[in-house]
């Protein structure tokens, strides 16, 4: 085990606490905050009807927490390293739970979006600190095990959300989606009070929090994400898109300069000085972008071109997240034996193969080959996600586990938004959502990007400093 006692956030010795119990509590909280990730895309129409607003406006019910979470995540990771991961995790889960309750009670759209922003802030505190807690309870050689279960949980929770949410929307109300999260979060909170080990104070003199870096980083992430999400709707050449893009291009390098000068940066540049970390984050973001872009336009293809009903589409796509959930823990065990490079390249290649098949997909074709491609894509992403997370955490110093977890979360959020914007932009540029060849071009682009990732080895992880 790494000696976390000198980090300002070390956990008590694992012999006093069951590391598997710690992992279970952390995963339960991640499950509750991630439950509505995908089902809200199905719930947009009922929410719009109930609150008497447009689909375009209600889309921010999904986008707002995504943007806010990405904006807050870098500062949240460093805050966890600096003040205590358990403390930040508990605070985040309380905030997220209050946001869930307010979302379920929302009488208007502004109320609902505000509540979702609150949930996004809480989630940004919960996920990086929770991942750091889980990773620090295991030795560096074994950290792929909890990371595999983390990947599995992040895949299974939205899958269950689709299954239960569809029933809830049809027979009850969209509000049930938020209320269903409350008991899960409450149980996680109660268990955490006794199961999670206490933060151990550091003997080091506390350094000032990098407030300037946190603010500039948040603005940079906000500008980048806003451009990625809105540019396809505004038009890439519109004045608004160009202004937001210019802001992002100014703020991102400014953030890097601020971090280079900061005594205790929110996103330490030293994380990116190691080649393995840089390559792992690049491959991870590329494959994640391809996955999310495919995730977004595949239902459009099946409903617009194939005339499938939304319920049939939701059921047909289930093999993909189920494969992620099953492969995640297996990937963790595999990485312990083989290292990270092989699983990363294999996973990226599987994603490339799946997207290549999608480029020739006809919704009238037999379902079995399509299901196999979905399994390949989901399993491939699980391999890449688990292995790159293991590489980054193992390649980071113990004192930077929270920051490295935040880096993983931030690159994933940027990749999600970037992948959606890229695939939507490609679809529009190639003729629109009613043109079958447009989907062929978009999925062909995705396959090419995933193949490039598969051909980019990340290298061997060396022992990290404490």
Same fold, 1-209 and 270-466: yes
What per-residue confidence (pLDDT) applies to 39? 63
What per-residue confidence (pLDDT) applies to 372? 97
Domain boundary assignment for the chain: 1-209, 211-262, 270-466
SS3 letters across the chain:
CCCHHHCCCEECCHHHCCHHHHHHHHHHHHHHHHCCCCHHHHHHHHHHHHHCCCHHHHCHHHHHHHHHHHHHHHHHHHHHHHHCHHHHHHHHHHHHHHHHHHHHHCCCHHHHHHHHHHHHHHHHHHHHHHHHHHHHCCCHHHCHHHHHHHHHHHHHHHHHHHHHHHHHHHHCCCHHHHHCHHHHHHHHHHHHHHHCCCEECCCCCCCCCCHHHHHHHHHHHHHHHHHHHHHHHHCCCCHHHHHHHHHHHHHHHHHHHHHHHCCCCCCCHHHHCCHHHHHHHHHHHHHHHHHHHHHHHHHHHHHHHCCCCHHHHHHHCCHHHHHHHHHHHHHHHHHHHHCCHHHHHHHHHHHHHHHHHHCCCCCCCCHHHHHHHHHHHHHHHHHHHHHHHHHHHHHCCHHHHHHHHHHHHHHHHHHHHHHHHHHHHHHHHCCCCCCHHHHHHHHHHHHHHHHHHHCCCCCCCCCCCC
- The residues pairing with 103 across neighbouring beta strands, listed in sequence order, are none
Q: How far apart are CA 23 and CA 136, in angstroms?
A: 10
Please classify residue 190 by burial: count the beta carbons closer than 10 Å to its beta carbon, then call 0-12 exposed, 13-18 middle and 19+ buried.
exposed
For residues 240-269, average pLDDT = 89
> How is residue 62 written in tokens?
């999904």
Q: pLDDT tens digits for 434-449?
A: 889 999 999 999 999 9
Q: Which of 119-123, 327-331, 348-352 has the lowest mean pLDDT?
A: 327-331
Q: Residue 266: pLDDT above 70? A: yes
What per-residue confidence (pLDDT) applies to 62? 75
Q: Average pLDDT, whole number, for the chain?
A: 82
Q: Residue 310: pLDDT above 70? A: no
pLDDT band at 410 (very low <50, low <70, confident <90, very high): confident
Q: pLDDT tens digits for 24-40?
A: 999 999 998 887 766 66
Name the E strands within 234-329.
none
Question: Which numeric CATH code is attached to 270-466?
Answer: 1.20.1250.20
Name the E strands within 73-184.
none
Q: Residue 354: pLDDT above 70? A: yes
Q: Which fold has domain 1-209?
A: Growth Hormone; Chain: A; (1.20.1250)
Q: How far apart are CA 328 and CA 387, in angstroms?
A: 10
What per-residue confidence (pLDDT) applies to 262? 84
User: Do residues 293 and 416 make contact, with C-beta atoms less than 8 angstroms apart?
Assistant: no
User: Do residues 420 and 229 make contact, with C-beta atoms less than 8 angstroms apart?
Assistant: yes
Q: Which of 50-54, 199-203, 371-375, 450-454 has the lowest mean pLDDT?
A: 199-203
Q: How far apart are CA 228 and CA 232, in angstroms?
A: 8
Q: pLDDT tens digits for 3-12?
A: 443 344 444 4
Q: Residue 46: pLDDT above 60? A: yes
Share of the chain above pLDDT 90, in %: 31
pLDDT band at 462 (very low <50, low <70, confident <90, very high): low
**What pTM was estimated for this model as a whole?**
0.75
For residues 67-93, average pLDDT = 83
For residues 425-433, average pLDDT = 83
């Amino acid at each position: 085990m790494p000696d976390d006692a000198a980090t300002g956030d070390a956990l008590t010795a694992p012999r006093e606490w069951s590391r598997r119990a710690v992992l279970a509590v952390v995963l339960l909280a991640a499950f509750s905050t991630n439950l509505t990730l995908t089902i809200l895309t199905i719930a947009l129409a009922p929410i719009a009807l109930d609150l008497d607003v447009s689909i375009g406006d209600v889309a921010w019910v999904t986008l707002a927490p995504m943007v806010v979470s990405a904006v807050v995540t870098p500062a949240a990771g460093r805050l966890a390293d600096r003040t205590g991961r358990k403390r930040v995790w508990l605070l985040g889960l309380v905030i997220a739970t209050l946001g869930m309750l307010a979302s379920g009670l929302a009488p208007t759209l502004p109320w609902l979006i505000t509540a979702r922003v609150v949930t996004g802030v809480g989630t940004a505190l919960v996920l990086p600190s929770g991942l750091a807690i889980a990773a620090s309870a295991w030795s560096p050689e074994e950290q792929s095990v909890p990371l595999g279960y983390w990947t599995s949980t992040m895949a299974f929770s939205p899958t269950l959300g689709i299954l239960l949410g569809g029933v809830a929307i049809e027979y009850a109300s969209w509000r049930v989606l938020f209320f269903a999260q409350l008991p899960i979060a409450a149980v996680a909170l109660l268990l955490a009070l006794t199961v999670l080990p206490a933060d151990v104070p550091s003997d080091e003199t506390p350094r000032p929090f990098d407030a300037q870096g946190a603010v500039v980083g948040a603005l940079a992430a906000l500008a980048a994400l806003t451009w990625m999400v809105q540019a396809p709707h505004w038009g890439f050449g519109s004045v608004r898109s160009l202004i937001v893009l210019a802001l992002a291009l100014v703020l991102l390098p400014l953030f890097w300069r601020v971090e280079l000068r900061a005594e205790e940066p929110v996103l330490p540049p030293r994380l990116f000085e190691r080649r393995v970390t840089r390559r792992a984050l690049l491959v991870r973001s590329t494959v994640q972008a391809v996955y999310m872009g495919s995730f977004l336009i595949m239902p459009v293809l099946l409903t617009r071109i194939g005339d499938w009903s939304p319920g049939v589409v939701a059921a047909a796509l289930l093999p993909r997240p189920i494969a992620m959930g099953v492969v995640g823990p297996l990937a963790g065990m595999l990485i312990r034996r083989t290292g990270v490079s092989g699983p990363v390249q294999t996973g990226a290649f599987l994603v490339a193969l799946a997207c290549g098949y999608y480029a020739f997909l006809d919704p009238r074709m037999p379902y079995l080959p399509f299901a196999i491609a979905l399994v390949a894509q989901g399993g491939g992403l699980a391999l890449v996600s688990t292995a790159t997370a293991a590489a980054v955490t193992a390649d980071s110093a113990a004192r930077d586990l929270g920051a490295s977890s935040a880096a993983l979360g931030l690159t994933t959020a940027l990749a999600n938004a970037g992948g959606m914007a890229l695939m939507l932009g490609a679809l529009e540029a190639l003729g629109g959502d009613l043109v079958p060849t447009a989907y062929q071009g978009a999925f062909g682009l995705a396959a090419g990007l995933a193949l490039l990732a598969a051909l980019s080895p990340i290298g061997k992880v060396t022992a990290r400093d404490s």
